[in-house]
Amino acid sequence: MATTPDIAFERGLPASVDAERSILGAILLDNHAYNEAAEKLLAVDFALESHQRIFARIGELMDANRAVDIVTLAEELARRKEVESIGGVAYLASLTEGLPRRLSIEEYVRIVKDKSLLRQLINICSMSITRAADQSEDALEILNAAESDLLEVTEKGISRGFAGLPEIVRDSFGTIDNLYKEGREVTGLATHFDEFDRMTSGLQKSELTIIAARPSMGKTALAINIAQNAAVRGGKVIAIFSLEMSKESLLRRMLASEALVDSQKIQKGFLGRDDHAKLSSALERLVESHIFIDDTPGISLTEMRAKARRLRQMQGGLDLIVIDYLQ
């Protein structure tokens, strides 16, 4: 039974030809199976190039609302002069041999996707090793590229799909009774700006909040105050990426805000006895909080993501990330 030679097998990379054949055969017998496969698989997820071509052509026929069977698929492949490259019509016919009319392909899809992710992982690691051995690039540049590629592969492996309302309700707040018992105006992260929290119910998980205004209107001050309030008064773990201001300058701002002392006094050292007491108390509260500042200039998104993940792992969680600022 002829098939196209494939680099995956020449290199001994992970693959499951039987699972791939079962998926393709199931679709030829029951076109409804295509939707289940296409939800998680792309043509490139198949190890054999012949299977990639077959799956791609099936998808094109399905998108054109045409029935897909051995005859129509063979005709489409012939029109593109690809019949021989997939092993001939006889190979297409063999895909359905021994399969029941309706076959559950969920497990086969999982296997094919898993093998695809393993091949991609091996490729990324292999490329990184080659680049590292060449020694023509900085190590951090290679690491950042590898991390970016790995993150992309990770995201490809996550398939969330549809969720029914009962599942969403259960995962988000349980029951109406729970909401009633909590009786909270703020369901997210409290900024401790009362009016803002009432309007927004706090900063919600997975949401991006952008503070926008003209220059010198206090965007940084507001963002830092929110982070400071969440950490000092809310006990949250906060990461601050400052692309413009040094960590020392940010600390002075936080200290002045927490102590209710003019920042110019701190900068110039014109402090009275009351100021000293206020600053000592404020500094103690800040030191005990979980605020972490990174002021690396020109930091990339990849490096930012890596540092945030590392901080989350070290602290056992990460509640808020403040970036000042992105362009």
Other C-beta atoms lying within 10 Å of the C-beta of residue 231 = 23
How far from the centroid of its chain's Cα atoms is residue 114's Cα? 18
For residues 146 and 128, is the Cβ–Cβ distance under 8 A? yes
Tell me the H-state helices in 100-215.
106-134, 139-157, 165-172, 176-182, 194-200
CA torsion sign, 225 to 231 to 236 to 241? positive
- What is the secondary structure of 203-266 as a DSSP string? BPTT-------STTSSHHHHHHHHHHHHHHTT--EEEEEESSS-HHHHHHHHHHHHHT--HHHH
Q: Reduced to 3 states, what is the DSSP secondary structure of residue 290?
A: strand
Amino acid at 141: E
For residues 27 and 33, is the Cβ–Cβ distance under 8 A? yes
CA 1/CA 3 separation, integer angstroms = 7
For residues 46 and 123, is the Cβ–Cβ distance under 8 A? no
Residue (of 294, 215, 216, 289) closest to 250 by Cα position: 294
Task: Report, as residue numbers or ranges, the catalytic residues.
Answer: 244
